[in-house]
Amino acid sequence: MRLLGTVPAETMKSSAVHFFPHDVLYGRLRPYLNKVYRPEFEGLCSAEFIVFPASEYLATKLLQYFLNSFDFVSFASHLNEGDRPRVDFLQLAPYQFPLAPLAEQHRIVAKIEELLTKLDAGVEALRKAQVQLKRYRQSVLKAAVTGELTREWRESTTSCQLVESQQQAGSLLYIEPAEKLLTRILKERRAKWEADQLAKMKAATKSPKNDDWKKKYKEPRKPQGQLPKLPRGWLWVTWEQIGFSQNGRLFPSSEYQPRGIKLLRPGNFHIGGRVVWTSANTRHMPKRWASEFPEFVVKGEELIMNLTAQSLKDEFLGRICITSPNERCLLNQRIARLTPIQASRHYLLWLFKSEVFRRFVDTLNTGSLIQHMFTSQLAAFVLPLPSLDEQHRIVSEVERCLSIADAIERTIEQSLKQAERMRQSVLKRAFEGKLVPQDLNDEPAELLLERIQQERAKREAEKSAMTKRRTTSPKRRTTSC
């Protein structure tokens, strides 16, 4: 077990427990319940640990393994329930410990360590593979948003090759530059703004007398400064140029109910980019909320982003997901809906999960206890825009590469679970007496138990005598001047 932490001995209160090298410390209070540590030094620990003193008649390493075995952990875990359940020694005392001859104990420990050392080496290799997979995923996304992932496709497509469906017409395959795509996007963006303004005027029973109201339209910000070179046909754009952002609204938790329309919350955002609903993280609102606020209903294949987090770890701030095709839920506060104009949502999903966006997020509001980002900040995010055809190609290549990584990840996770089962199997066989051969020349465990009991009685007698001396010693006199 990893050491939980140390403090100077003089800071400990009277409830501190003295321990010595090779004693076994057992955590008896959640969240440290069933945590076991065997120190190599002398010190003090809080009363939330049970100290099993070292004995020359018991291999304390074997006791440490026993306290980590599945059967004992399961037994101890079900002793108490509540917010901060404690386990007392008297509750553990009835649990039977299979005492082997001392020589056999040492053989068992040696065999356990031999097998677990090999197992730990395998687990470490699997953990390293997981780290490499994470790096591989990021390298795939980096290659995607820099054009490297589709470089060969782009070069072969722009080399005047004919498409079968176009050969009859005798025309060459043509990839539209992102510049022309952006022109169409900006035109549609303005048209949508004008349609929204007309709808608002109509709702207010107003009619425009002329086109002067159109002059209120604000052109979106363009990228500023020196930017890295992009592949031919690509273009740097701001999110404000190619999409719209919508903030969620506050839905009262007092109206949560077992059924109704689901309420989207940060806990539903999976790091893989999908929305996950479980019995633990799902909340429902009455359906009337969807009827009263239809503009906050999220449907299928929509991009959503988390705008708040307690830290920048695990990419939780700015975590992006895309809803399933049949999704229907409410857009909660501190969550944004991102609606692109004529751009692939799946391409933007992977772009917002790439280092290009993560570096942008890392510059926002760092240093506070609660991390926030705002759609106004998101509007200025500069991103690489390829042609629409290449966006679709990128999505296809990314999903192909990541599906391979996901399959490997599943295999690693299964192997890690199998390793834990093997670990517990080793301990189970050890305490069943099946791990090492027995030797008839070993001193019987009955005689060993007698020595342990004698040692325990002696220790308790010494402790009782020390307590008696403390209570009967005369108090120090004090004088005043």
User: If phi over 0 gives left and psi between -120 and 50 gives alpha, with beta otherwise, what is residue 66?
Assistant: alpha
CB-CB neighbours of 246 under 10 Å? 16
Q: Please, are residues 178 and 386 in contact by the beta-carbon 8 Å criterion? A: yes
Task: Name the most confidently modeled range: 36-45, 335-344, 358-367, 464-473.
Answer: 335-344
Q: For residues 59 and 37, what is the distance between their CA atoms, to the nearest angstrom?
A: 14
Q: Please, are residues 319 and 373 in contact by the beta-carbon 8 Å criterion? A: no
Q: Which of 9-23, 53-67, 142-156, 306-320 has the lowest mean pLDDT?
A: 9-23
Confidence category of residue 158, pLDDT binned at 50, 70, 90: low
pLDDT, residue 26, reads 93
At 4, is the secondary structure helix, strand, or coil? coil
Sequence-ordered list of residues with C-beta below 8 angstroms from that of 94, at least 6 positions apart, any chain: none
pTM: 0.78
Give the Å distances, CA to CA, from 3 to 6, 76, 103: 8, 21, 29
In tens, the pLDDT along 430-440 reads 999 999 999 99
Confidence category of residue 84, pLDDT binned at 50, 70, 90: low
Q: Please, are residues 442 and 101 in contact by the beta-carbon 8 Å criterion? A: yes
pLDDT at 47 over 90: no
pLDDT, residue 314, reads 74
Q: For residues 391 and 368, what is the distance between their CA atoms, to the nearest angstrom?
A: 37
Structure tokens at 201: 């005027």
pLDDT at 160 over 70: no
103, 104, 110, 113: CA torsion to nearest 10: -140
Q: For residues 323 and 300, what is the distance between their CA atoms, to the nearest angstrom?
A: 5
Q: For residues 326 and 270, what is the distance between their CA atoms, to the nearest angstrom?
A: 17
Q: For residues 343 and 341, what is the distance between their CA atoms, to the nearest angstrom?
A: 5
Q: For residues 464 and 461, what is the distance between their CA atoms, to the nearest angstrom?
A: 5
Q: Of 242, 319, 332, 320, give the one whose Cα is nearest residue 284.
A: 332
Largest CA distance in the chain: 117
pLDDT, residue 169, reads 43
In tens, the pLDDT along 394-414 reads 999 999 999 999 999 999 999
* φ/ψ of residue 297, rounded to 5: -90, 125
Name residue 274's beta-bridge partners: 322
Which DSSP string corresponds to 365-414?
A: STTSSSEE--HHHHTT-EEEE--HHHHHHHHHHHHHHHHHHHHHHHHHHH
Which DSSP string corresponds to 197-263?
A: HHHHHHHTT---SSSGGGGGPPPPPPP-S------TT-EEEEHHHHEEEEE-B---GGG-BSSSEEE
Name residue 247's beta-bridge partners: 336
Q: How much of the chain, in percent, has pLDDT values that exceed 70? A: 88
Amino acid occupying residue 19: F
Tell me which of 158 and 73 has the higher pLDDT: 73
Confidence category of residue 478, pLDDT binned at 50, 70, 90: very low
Sequence-ordered list of residues with C-beta below 8 angstroms from that of 335, at least 6 positions apart, any chain: 247, 248, 264, 265, 266, 304, 305, 306, 307
Cα–Cα–Cα angle for 227, 230, 236, rounded to 5 degrees? 55
Confidence category of residue 4, pLDDT binned at 50, 70, 90: very low
pLDDT, residue 367, reads 55
Tell me which of 174 and 272 has the higher pLDDT: 272
